Chain A
Amino acid sequence: MDALITQLQRQFRDYTISLYQQGFLDDQFTELKKLQDDGSPDFVAEVLTLFFEDCVKLISNMARALDQTTGNVDYSKVGASVHQLKGSSSSVGAKRVKALCVSFKDYCDTQNFEGCVRCLQQVDIEYKTLKTKLQDLFNLEKQIIQAGGRVPQVDIN
């Protein structure tokens, strides 16, 4: 059992580091983890749930706003949603999503339709990718705990 725990812990550590190194997560995610303790044991999961729900909602708003069939595109609406998403992603440490939001915002400001649509697609892909990866990470955590081990604190250099 110990060997299993150790292995899982190593996997967890490596996976976490890779997420940071690949730019999926940044220090805000670390901060988020720090806020989790006995008082709020599911804080990270809770906030991430909120974040992903946010993503769905905001992306749908953006898509609706970018829908040309309903008339002229209201770029301010798109921009407002992008701004929200930028705020959410930056507070959870979703680095790639946030970076996308920055360029998305630029396209909104310049009313570049193609650019906006492209960004929208990318944002959609990004958040889903992140979600999958974080799910895997959480699963690892669960496995460690189920095996009786402790989830290690991972130091990101």
Chain B
Amino acid sequence: MEFKSAEEGRIEKFPVGMRVLAVDDNPTCLRKLEELLLRCKYHVTKTMESKKALEMLRENSNMFDLVISDVEMPDADGFKLLETGLEMDLPVIMLSAHSDYDSVMKGILHGACDYLVKPVALKELQNIWHHVVKKNIKSYAKNIGTSRQLLPPSQSDLVPGVSKKRKDKVNDSGDDDDSDREEDDGEGSEQDGDESGTRKKPRVVWSQELHQKFVNAVQQLGLDKAVPKKILDLMNIEGLTRENVASHLQKYRLYLKKIDEGQQQNMTPDAFGTRDSSYFQMAQLDGLRDFTATRQLPSSGLLSRSHLTKIQPHLYSSINLQGMNSSGFIQQGHHQSSSNSANPFGTYHSTLPPRIQNVNLFQRTSSPLESLQFPRSKCSAYMGDFKSIGDRPIGGGFVDSCMSYGSSSTSLPSASTNTLMLQGNYTQPLHTVSSVNQPCIEKTLSNAASPNISVQGLSRLPSQSWQGNLNTTRFLSNSSPLNHAFFPDQVTCAGNNLGDCSSLVSAGNPGGGMQCEPQLLGGFLQNINSLDGQKWEQQNCSMVNNTFGNVEYPLPGDNMVFRENNAARSKGVDESLMSPIENSGNVNSQEYVGKPSTMVSAEMMKSGKPENAHIDNQNQHDVFDDIMNEMMKQEENNGMVSVAARFGFDSFPPP
């Protein structure tokens, strides 16, 4: 989809190209669904396996705008997919052949945006884009323009109609309507604008107490059975929303995973190389994080996008919300950090006043991050945040304001600054897509200019993956030629992967065998053999079969290849540069990386980039970034200072 600078034009283009992930284990239904979605001019990725769908979502949360999935699938519960999609703030539509009240209720209670009964009609699917808009109404409103008249009539008509739902949604989703998006309250509709303007939810601070309650609830339910809704009920905290819990749960799960691996691998820097600093924070909250990991975090955090997400927004919030309780974060589990003076991060934690160190690290970072991700809505929000810090451009200003708050060690500010810078870098490419975005971001992310230019080649959308962004930047600073060397490859891969209008990702053979086991139920089953089927095939479907075959098999191959290349390259680089631990660390962080970017992806959706071209860019960079990731890890080991210096962020004081 053409990304027009005129917002009106852009809005008109959407929902064309809206990226839908379709999941159904029934091949007939899936094929029909795909065609229906294609008819609606959406971009469709289909898979028969719920696991595959989960993988795709986690790998790149920015890949899709909407998920539509059958609830009953043998290999996995459709509700698990629903949970994941919701964690990533994606609208999830449930599909089922069951239309009974209980099934529908179950779906809706689990947070499904909609529940469609099979067989699905075309007109039902033609409207599903509403859910994407609803989820991102604030961003859209802002993008549309400050005045409603820019909205095409159909949109204007639509928005009031959904405003009621939107209000309900606003009530329900605290995190998404964070204060940093208050500025986004443009006018999608009067009602919505007014509603969202007044309905600002405070950020959730995951204090130690809160986190402890959370952990208790999770343990009570059992980690496997812990779903946000139940956790929420058990915690019984007023004002806490399901979304808050969902995102926290997501981080917690990743953290636990990290812990497992870390304990096995004796935590090396790389294990946490590009780890989101939330792991670190989570560890601190849990008091489990070991010293080593803590030590490692700063350097990685410097370049880690997730770190950026975690630290920055939280710092903003801590600065903004002076009264926030940050004690939990600092006090517990900081034994490790404080005892190690060599640990910049630890130093940070021990020296920064509680005010700045805030548990907000844990809180949902989507909003601040989102603001970074989505230029349109972000600009003002972002600026707003910085304003509270100090009326300075990000880099220096941030550092200064940090400094002004107390005896913060240099490590954090520079880390933050760097991440900010990185953020700028990251967002810059994103914003290059839209000229509207760029000026906005450039303002807020000062030194973005030159780094951005170099990053543009990588043109990585921030939401892609933490790692990707991080690596991009690092790599960039180190060796541009390598960038370009990889880039074309990525393009190809991505092209194969994403160029198709609809890609079949399923690894399984949906067609099923023509053969079936004979000899069951006596002679009856002897009738059930492939003969008839073959006859059908031969008579009518040789062409069709070929078509079908062509459609099906090459695509998965391409996709597989794409993904395998991803892994292979990463591994290759890993081996050459790092120890196996780093390897797994990389993998882990990739996995994790997918998560926080969900927030980003939500924002991505908001700014409305369903275009395939966009996806192509993103995916190209995915692989590219993975490779870069490996390259950068080595850098990381060299220490924060050198990294910072390498970035050429001269304006920052070295850590």
Contact = CB atoms under 8 A, between A and B. Distances in A.
Given A80-B74, A87-B29, A135-B536, A53 B517 contact: no
A90 B98 CA distance: 12
Interface string A77-114: 00010011011101110000000000000000000000
The DSSP consensus for interface residues of chain A is: helix
How many of chain B's residues touch chain A, expressed as a range? 35 or more
Nearest to A36: B35
A83 B72 contact: yes
Interface in B241-277: none
B510 interface: yes
Contacts of A28: 119
Nearest to A142: B540
Given A46-B31, A83-B97, A60 B119 contact: no
A86 B122 contact: no
Given A80-B74, A120-B521, A135-B536, A88 B544 contact: no
B512 A53 contact: yes
Contacts of B543: 42, 45
B554 interface: no
B220 interface: no
A50 B31 contact: yes
A91 B536 contact: no
Contacts of A63: 516-517, 520-521, 524-525, 528
Interface string B594-619: 00000000000000000000000000
A42 B528 contact: no
B528 A45 contact: no
A1 B71 CA distance: 52
Nearest to A131: B536
Given A54-B26, A88-B29, A135-B536, A42 B547 contact: yes
Contacts of A87: 26, 28-29, 97, 118
B36 interface: yes
Q: From DSSP, what is the main secondary structure of chain B's interface residues?
A: helix
A139 interface: yes
Interface string A12-26: 000000000000000
B371 to A, nearest CB: 39
Contacts of A86: 97
A88 B28 contact: yes
A146 B19 CA distance: 39
Interface in B532-579: 532-533, 535-537, 539-541, 543-545, 547-548, 551
Contacts of A80: 74
A135 B539 contact: yes
Contacts of B514: 53, 56
B544 A42 contact: yes
Contacts of B36: 35
Nearest to B539: A135
B39 interface: yes
Interface of B: 25-29, 31-32, 35-36, 38-39, 72, 74, 97, 118-122, 510-514, 516-517, 520-521, 524-525, 527-528, 530, 532-533, 535-537, 539-541, 543-545, 547-548, 551
> Which 8 residue pairs spanning A and B have beta carbons closest together?
A60-B516, A57-B512, A88-B28, A45-B544, A91-B119, A87-B97, A51-B28, A63-B520
Interface of A: 28, 31-32, 34-35, 39-40, 42-43, 45-47, 49-54, 56-57, 59-60, 63-64, 66-67, 80, 83-84, 86-88, 90-92, 117, 120-121, 124, 128, 131, 135, 138-139
Given A88-B29, A92-B32, A124-B527, 6 more contacts: A43-B35, A50-B510, A54-B28, A56-B528, A56-B533, A67-B521
25 contacts: A31-B122, A34-B122, A35-B122, A39-B38, A40-B35, A42-B547, A43-B35, A45-B540, A49-B537, A49-B545, A50-B548, A53-B533, A54-B26, A56-B528, A57-B512, A60-B517, A63-B517, A63-B524, A64-B520, A66-B520, A67-B520, A88-B26, A90-B97, A139-B539, A139-B540
